[in-house]
Structure 1
């Protein structure tokens, strides 16, 4: 297949000519082999334009030639901007019906992260601090893993997959450099290798288009599955930013940042400009304000020291420039975030428009997983989640009671606190020791019991943060003063075991 000239595709040419050329190219690539296609769809302008081009191309083929599956995948992080999430969900539903009616091999898929990987399970359950540029734990779990898992399933089933993405060189200089690098290794004329997903190739049909050219195409060509592009334009006009979240398949792909279609919980930027603009520009979006306020509370860096433990997740104390590196959120902070989230959900459900009134800021499955982590992994045997849920929502918690053998009644907790005489660290240590013993009580083989007891004691070894800081400094000084041992083939500053 001859490769058409790709630079400045609209220069001196009519839109119809460019579209006809591209749809012909899409058809030729589609018919070239039996490799299934996977289209990344975010509901934004670029991914919509690409999907429209493929849809128009397939419409131009005889029914007997539409034999190859085209999977449309959209990753819902479960913390997407709710307006955009509702738009994408409706679009996927409309798309599925239209593809069936038009006898097209297009299959929409809404992907979500596993419950153990969701934003709230990690932040409220495990205590991960709000994401920061140097600790961006969210992208891998919420975006990369769901899309990559789907693509790998397609590759396992068919041996190969072709990703059709709405990436454009005009998005950023970094994007242009990355695309130029992959161009040099292209096969089959228009397909670039994907370094992070073996046996998958990337096709980017609108890579040379500008922002204005994308909108020109969307405004002049009706959406073939019946989701109005003018409504999409209106949604963009309600926000200050004009970009979208791409399909994220590796950690070099930008994970939205301050873009139009990002997570409402995103703390990787100073402020959520898009949600702020949507509320400011449209009185009907005022119901989103509780989300914006909660997001801003998560982003309050000044309050982090009071809300985070001085120990890391494993109980260790680490230093950075003679200061303790803050660990996960404390139990009190995690309980506060859960209460605030459930209150925001209740408020939004009462004031949101009909089409988003049943919105779930956190799912029941996530609540069950958070409860499990609190009780069984963090040994917070008070089992406070059901009470927090009922206080925030006014409804009973929709879950079964935890095994009574593994939790402490309120009177028992109060008695334990009284015995510990206000010492929170020793209270937590004693509580964990009791929980570990109870969990092992019914086991036939109590393997690992003593290791877990030892870990709990080490975690509660300190009197307070100042004591932990002094201990860590003394330990660091001892390491620095350790003698140097030289062997025949290497040098080391570690003392022998």
Structure 2
């Protein structure tokens, strides 16, 4: 099936009914599906399956960590790994496999729902087939969420020159998880769904881990080896496989295909390094945070709206407003949070964080949007932390003003 036809739906509708997930029939253990899947894989998939088989059969017990964003590439990797585990006798399933997603807490609602459903299906299959699979979701620290930084600390909406969100919300949470597992096991193997031909950025990420061997040391995470099983696949290969093969955890990949149809986009992948960060907030229409102001236009969220998801239009308008107010000097303080005034070498004044009035306005608008949309957009714990930061900022501001007045008084004496 041509990939263009698959994504625009011109070659017919998707199956109206998907098989029940493992265990849905009421049996304590569902029958093992026929493996390999229904369609005959091409030579590339045969080689990939063999690499996965060989690597998992190694004598060491280094756990695998599968980075799962819910997009096509990470879904394919998860599919192949779970498929292989099911094919093994129970006695040979000796190595733990962690399937790890990241929730920035401001993910596109439809995408995050898709990820949660996928993780739940994988977890259910793991229980049904007695697989050594651990499903986890990482999230930013409570003090480092998007709203705590934007509204609480007044950080200006992220842009290309000040993209403070990626490290705090994506890199640190997942990297911390990898480090924890490496500390427990000595070393871990991180499976990433990167491909050379996905984009120039992703190709650059792939090149960072190229040393001619199957496993490459992670450049930033000690005790972490990187395994990229689908590195040489083309986009057509990925879509054709997902369209022709049902996931080993049950159901079908139809929901994923429909998600791409609706958004016309791609996923923001799992990121574990600042050098990988350009994949987040590029000019492509990748799935990602609905609040992302790094891109000029949120094509994926706009795509959902164009596909009939009108409930997301207010989110799109709110995001556009955050872009609009970012560089308004009337909304920014003169000093940065460290109390300094910043002027570049070229003599350009760089304003500080949003002023308190703007922070109040952002929160008020966000809470109104949350009430209207009936979606949870900000947690109560975030609101409480925001108010604590406001009190702290008022105290710091008062102390600085008092110090400035003392300086003037003594200086004039």
Which bin holds the TM-score, normalised by the shorter protein? 0.7 to 0.9
Secondary structure at 1:154 match in 2: helix
Cα displacement (A) at 1:17: 4.5
Cα displacement (A) at 1:462: 11
Quote the residue 2:382 is aligned against.
Answer: 366
**8 Å contact 1:193–1:201 — kept in the other structure?**
yes
Deviations 1:211-233 (A, max 9, x none): 11101010111011125311111
Which structure 1 residue ranges, 5 or more long, are not aligned? 1-12, 350-358, 381-427, 433-452, 464-497
Measure the CA separation in 1 of the matches of 2:292 and 2:185: 36
Aligned counterpart for 1:347 among listed residues 369, 372, 376:
372
**8 Å contact 1:19–1:53 — kept in the other structure?**
no
Measure the CA separation in 1 of the matches of 2:69 and 2:301: 17
TM-aligned CA distance change 1:73 to 1:459, over 3 Å = farther
Quote the residue 1:332 is aligned against.
Answer: 357
**Superposition pairs of residues 435-454 of structure 1, within 5 angstroms:** 453=399
**8 Å contact 1:96–1:107 — kept in the other structure?**
yes
Deviations 1:422-449 (A, max 9, x none): xxxxxx95xx3xxxxxxxxxxxxxxxxx
Aligned counterpart for 1:379 among listed residues 384, 394, 401:
394
Query: Cα RMSD over matched residues?
Result: 2.1
Quote the residue 1:279 is aligned against.
Answer: 305
Cα displacement (A) at 1:47: 0.3
TM-aligned CA distance change 1:129 to 1:461, over 3 Å = farther
TM-aligned CA distance change 1:104 to 1:301, over 3 Å = same
Aligned counterpart for 1:213 among listed residues 219, 224, 237:
237
Aligned counterpart for 1:201 among listed residues 225, 233, 256:
225
Measure the CA separation in 1 of the matches of 2:297 and 2:126: 39
Quote the residue 2:98 is aligned against.
Answer: 71
**8 Å contact 2:99–2:133 — kept in the other structure?**
yes
Q: How many residues align?
A: 365
**8 Å contact 2:281–2:295 — kept in the other structure?**
no
Aligned counterpart for 1:26 among listed residues 52, 60, 68:
52
Quote the residue 1:246 is aligned against.
Answer: 269
Quote the residue 2:152 is aligned against.
Answer: 125
Aligned counterpart for 1:107 among listed residues 115, 131, 134:
134
Measure the CA separation in 2 of the matches of 1:98 and 1:79: 28
Q: Comparing both chains, which one has the higher relative contact order based on Cα–Cα distances under 8 Å and sequence gaps of 6 or more?
A: 2
Measure the CA separation in 1 of the matches of 2:54 and 2:316: 47
| TM-score, length of structure 2 as denominator length | 0.84
Measure the CA separation in 1 of the matches of 2:298 and 2:376: 20
Quote the residue 2:123 is aligned against.
Answer: 96
| TM-score, length of structure 1 as denominator length | 0.70
Secondary structure at 1:58 match in 2: helix
Quote the residue 2:41 is aligned against.
Answer: 15
**Superposition pairs of residues 259-298 of structure 1, within 5 angstroms:** 259-282=285-308, 285-298=309-322
Measure the CA separation in 1 of the matches of 2:204 and 2:316: 35
Measure the CA separation in 2 of the matches of 1:219 and 1:344: 37
Secondary structure at 1:110 match in 2: strand
Measure the CA separation in 2 of the matches of 1:39 and 1:87: 17
**Superposition pairs of residues 79-228 of structure 1, within 5 angstroms:** 79-184=106-211, 186=212, 189-228=213-252
Cα displacement (A) at 1:461: 8.8
Which structure 2 residue ranges, 5 or more long, are not aligned? 1-38, 409-413
Deviations 1:378-432 (A, max 9, x none): 137xxxxxxxxxxxxxxxxxxxxxxxxxxxxxxxxxxxxxxxxxxxxxxx95xx3
Matched, 1:318 2:342: yes
Secondary structure at 1:109 match in 2: strand
Cα displacement (A) at 1:77: 0.1
Cα displacement (A) at 1:200: 0.8
Secondary structure at 1:39 match in 2: strand
TM-aligned CA distance change 1:156 to 1:302, over 3 Å = closer
**8 Å contact 2:107–2:288 — kept in the other structure?**
yes
Larger Rg over CA atoms:
1
Measure the CA separation in 1 of the matches of 2:216 and 2:384: 43
TM-aligned CA distance change 1:98 to 1:114, over 3 Å = same
- Which sits farther off after the overlay, 219-228 or 18-27? 18-27
Matched, 1:60 2:87: yes
Measure the CA separation in 1 of the matches of 2:102 and 2:146: 14
Secondary structure at 2:136 match in 1: strand
**8 Å contact 1:244–1:256 — kept in the other structure?**
no
TM-aligned CA distance change 1:68 to 1:460, over 3 Å = farther
Quote the residue 1:457 is aligned against.
Answer: 402
Cα displacement (A) at 1:273: 0.7
Secondary structure at 1:170 match in 2: coil
Measure the CA separation in 2 of the matches of 1:83 and 1:109: 19
